[in-house]
Amino acid sequence: MSAGSERGAAATPGGLPAPCASKVELRLSCRHLLDRDPLTKSDPSVALLQQAQGQWVQVHLQVGRTEVVRSSLHPVFSKVFTVDYYFEEVQRLRFEVYDTHGPSGFSCQEDDFLGGMECTLGQIVAQKKVTRPLLLKFGRNAGKSTITVIAEDISGNNGYVELSFRARKLDDKDLFSKSDPFLELYRVNDDQGLQLVYRTEVVKNNLNPVWEAFKVSLSSLCSCEETRPLKCLVWDYDSRGKHDFIGEFSTTFEEMQKAFEEGQAQWDCVNPKYKQKRRSYKNSGVVVLADLKFHRVYSFLDYIMGGCQIHFTTKRERGETGVSV
């Protein structure tokens, strides 16, 4: 079956998404990237392209590229790509890694190509986690460079969360200025491994940072399990990629909701090494959950099971028939 005929089978005549489509989130990381910078390490980002009518086009032009991870040969990207997966269709994807120069724009023309990888979306979904070598032009290996793509089906996802964090009295890690803090939020998987959920922006020269609010699906945050452990780490940003650890704390989404409702949503940001060495040590600052909004998304079946009544009328040649559900 050709790609064109498969696409026809996966779409309705009106151009609406077919029932067989599902939403999939893709998370990316790389290892052992080539170092293209003479004085520092590469500043990698990844562009996601999809094959359409024999041409490679950037997926969702405005969101088709990850953030730039500065000075890192082993980046873990916070950016998540959400794509429609049609199991009846061969959807070819291409991941291109670049050493990014200047601001993280959408064009890759002036960036150094660090390698690419091609596969189908079906292969990623089937394996859930795919690790492949990165290839340069003419099929040459980009050294030991690899890219890992993790897929998560969020079709059954029943909502998304808006979170906003701030902190106060963080440890000062800099000699001549104040710390440049950023926060990372991780989900603890069943194998106890940490999955990056979100990385905030860096707030320069500030021990009492207020980070911008962000949205994540409930599936990404905690696999729709509100008691699943979450871990937050706070770092002092370093332009060379050697970020200084400030502290951490653990929680759950259930605990976050309850604490926020009670006006007590704050946690000690603790450095375990300091806690072990100093008896008088209390914390390296306090992290506050400034805002939490949970938006639940209901399916058609949820409405029916909840007692919703639907009335509609069908027209026939000899009159109308009213139907109630």
Worst-scoring range by mean pLDDT, 84-93, 111-120, 184-193? 84-93
Does the pLDDT at position 157 exceed 90? no
Main-chain dihedrals φ then ψ at residue 67, nearest 5 degrees: -70, 165
Phi and psi angles of residue 137, each rounded to the nearest 5 degrees, phi first: -65, 150
SS3 assignment, position 7: helix
Does residue 313 carry a pLDDT above 70? no
Which amino acid, 251?
A: T
Tens of pLDDT, residue by residue over 21-55, are: 788 999 999 999 999 877 789 999 999 998 887 77
What's the CATH fold of domain 3-153?
A: Immunoglobulin-like (2.60.40)
Provide mean pLDDT across the span 169-181.
Answer: 92
The yes-or-no verdict on residue 283 having pLDDT over 90 is: yes
pLDDT grade, residue 154 (50/70/90)? confident
The position carrying tokens 């290839």 is 135
CA triple 206-230-299, angle to 5 deg: 115
- Whether residue 48 contacts residue 93, with contact meaning beta carbons closer than 8 Å, is answered with yes
What does the pLDDT read at residue 298?
59
Closest residue by Cα to residue 113 from 140, 79, 85, 78: 140
The pLDDT score that the predictor gives to residue 296 is 78
**Residue 100: its pLDDT value, please?**
87
Please compute the mean of the pLDDT values over residues 245-267 and round it to a whole number: 97
Mean pLDDT of 4-24: 51
Q: If pLDDT is split at 50, 70 and 90, which confidence band does 173 have? A: very high
Q: Which residues pair with 51 in a beta bridge?
A: 56
Task: State yes or no: pLDDT of 149 exceeds 70.
Answer: yes
Q: Is the pLDDT of residue 202 over 50?
A: yes
Instruction: Considering only residues 144 and 154, tell me which one the structure prediction assigns the higher pLDDT.
Output: 144
pLDDT at 17 over 50: no
pLDDT attached to residue 18: 46
Query: Quick check: 320 pLDDT over 60?
Result: no
pLDDT at residue 32 in the model:
97
What six digits make up the tokens of 283? 């914390």
To the nearest 10°, report the CA torsion of 210, 215, 221, 224.
140
At residue 303, the pLDDT reads: 47
Sheet strand arrangement including 194-199: 194-199, 181-188, 229-236, 244-252
* CB neighbourhood size of 297 (10 A): 11
Residue 60: predicted pLDDT: 56
Average pLDDT of every residue of the chain: 85
Q: Which helix (H) or strand (E) holds 122?
A: helix 121-127
pLDDT at 10: 40
* CA–CA distance, 290 with 74 (Å, rounded to integer): 32
Instruction: Provide mean pLDDT across the span 302-308.
Output: 51
Instruction: Return residue ranges of the chain for CATH 2.60.40.150.
Output: 3-153, 159-296
Region 245-266: mean pLDDT is 97
Q: Which residues share a beta bridge with 319?
A: 316
Q: What is the CATH number of domain 159-296?
A: 2.60.40.150
